[in-house]
Structure 1
Amino acid sequence: MAVQNLRPLIGGRILRGSQPFGMDAAATSEFLDHHGIQAVVDLRSGYERAISPWHLENHEVDLVENPLDPRLASAGLDAIHTAEDLAELYLGWVRARPGWVADSLRPVTQGKRTLIHCSLGKDRTGVVSAVALLAIGTAHRDIVADYAASTEALPAMLQTMAAAWRLAIPEVPEDAFSPSLMLLQSPGAAMEYFLEGFTREFGSATGFLRDAGLSAAELDSLRGV
């Protein structure tokens, strides 16, 4: 088992990926050392972390627990049926929790090679990654491509996650992790709609992050200035 759906952003200063699937202390140590990770930003809620915890004992790695529980941060996950619905979910997060986005990126602004992850590494991680990429001037088409790249990894991750959840919570419905659910997909159209809405509402990502609490020096560091 391992962190899946893993790929670098902004010159490798950010790694985005999934939760640690079944990693013991030895596997964790090997993973962190191999990738030179200095900070881990965990966007999962407490109940998610309990099912697939990190084993960071004896590691000089900053663990930043910055949770966003999708069940509580949305009017209803059951209403996600289209790519636009998925994008509106994401827009709701940045409207309600701009500081959550800024705090997710703060270790990067401190010069630390940072793993940012949630459960599958596509939704919460996708939103934070998209804003970071916007802030450094990445073209929309490239941000969409990065988001859609999660699609290939999803089937295997969903099987692994379903097994872990059913072991911890036997009453989880059989179809809770069905790949047919829009909530568990990563269509490029969802990110296109999100980027259009974000730009329309907030203008620039740097302005959004400044208003969310990042200083000018932190923004310069994020952009590699």
Structure 2
Amino acid sequence: MTIADPELVLSAPVNLRDLGGIPIDGGVVREGVAIRTDDLAYVTAEVASELVAAGLTAVIDLRSPLEVSVTGRGPLGEYPISYHHLPLIADVGESMDRDAPELSHDAMGRMYLRMVEVAAPQLVTALNVIAHTPGAAAFHCAAGRDRTGVLAAMLLLALGAADDDIVADYARTGDNMVAIMERTAPVMGAMWKALGFDAAAMSATSSLLEGSMEVSMRSLLDTLRAQHGDALAPLRAAGLSDATIARLRERALGA
């Protein structure tokens, strides 16, 4: 399957933030370790240059193969930084009910749980990249909300962050949703069309701009513990080691 070339305009991210300052076991995350963001594939050349100058050494791309086929790596592909394509959803279309796609906070929470359980190996690889890259690692999907939010949550869990702080970081995206939707509309609209979904109808029935985003992440964390005991259990079963967790904590605390 291919997507018709969208009218792509290079632009600055609207949902980029360094995880620095979030409380974790032993202190707070230092800046320059992990950056979560919306799509980096169509940032401007200026933004790409600024990110690399500020210490970016690795990009973790959580998008599906179909999404990547449209935009590739963009301007950041011109720099000698490592690139890791680790899709948390292999096929976006197959992850949704084609007849009645549900875009609600509760549905997102259930989708996040499937990501953790099904894409645990990709999440473990991403955590290893963050643990061992010499500079900052930036991870992104399209909006920097769902797939990016799941990896951010797993990272913060590994670092010993409290649920309230994980949820608070996730919910910060809520204020950016309108700008995110505007920025990603050309690519996402083309993708939904290629997958056979009516983007306008999906938008009309979505409740993601209503209520609190916190519901989705609370649901993920609570369900992981209810079903697995340890919220990181699926990742541990997929190879997340104590050594990687220790290395992440060393890097995050500046040790």
TM-score range, shorter chain: 0.7 to 0.9
Residue identity over aligned pairs, in percent, reads 29
Cα distance change, pair 75–62 in 1 and its aligned pair in 2 (3 A): same
Counterpart for residue 160 of structure 2 = 137
Counterpart for residue 34 of structure 2 = 14
Indicate conservation of the 8 Å contact 2:57/2:133, yes or no: no
Indicate conservation of the 8 Å contact 1:39/1:62, yes or no: yes
- Normalised to the residue count of structure 2, the TM-score between the two structures is 0.76
Indicate conservation of the 8 Å contact 1:16/1:125, yes or no: yes
Is residue 2:229 matched to residue 1:203? yes
Is residue 2:92 matched to residue 1:71? yes
Structure 2 unaligned residues grouped into runs of 5+: 1-10, 20-28
Counterpart for residue 4 of structure 1 = 14
Partner Cα separation in structure 1 for residue 237 and residue 180 of structure 2: 35
Task: Output the aligned Cα RMSD.
Answer: 2.8
Partner Cα separation in structure 2 for residue 179 and residue 35 of structure 1: 40
Partner Cα separation in structure 2 for residue 169 and residue 176 of structure 1: 11
Indicate conservation of the 8 Å contact 1:73/1:93, yes or no: no
More divergent stretch after superposition (100-109 vs 180-189): 180-189
SS in structure 1 of the partner of residue 84 of structure 2? strand
Cα distance change, pair 219–27 in 1 and its aligned pair in 2 (3 A): same
CA deviation after TM superposition for structure 1 residue 134, in Å? 1.2
Partner Cα separation in structure 2 for residue 106 and residue 179 of structure 1: 39
Counterpart for residue 79 of structure 2 = 59
Paired residues for 1:71-220 under 5 Å: 71=92, 74=95, 76=97, 78-112=100-134, 113-166=136-189, 173=198, 175=200, 178=203, 181-182=206-207, 187-220=213-246
Cα distance change, pair 81–204 in 1 and its aligned pair in 2 (3 A): same
Aligned pair partner of 2:69 in 47, 50, 54: 50
Structure 1 unaligned residues grouped into runs of 5+: none
Counterpart for residue 35 of structure 1 = 54
Counterpart for residue 248 of structure 2 = 222
More divergent stretch after superposition (164-173 vs 126-135): 164-173
- Normalised to the residue count of structure 1, the TM-score between the two structures is 0.85
Q: Deviations over 1:77-120 (max 9, x none)?
A: 74425422210111011112211211121111114420011000
Equivalent residues, number: 224
Partner Cα separation in structure 2 for residue 192 and residue 134 of structure 1: 13
Indicate conservation of the 8 Å contact 2:104/2:207, yes or no: yes
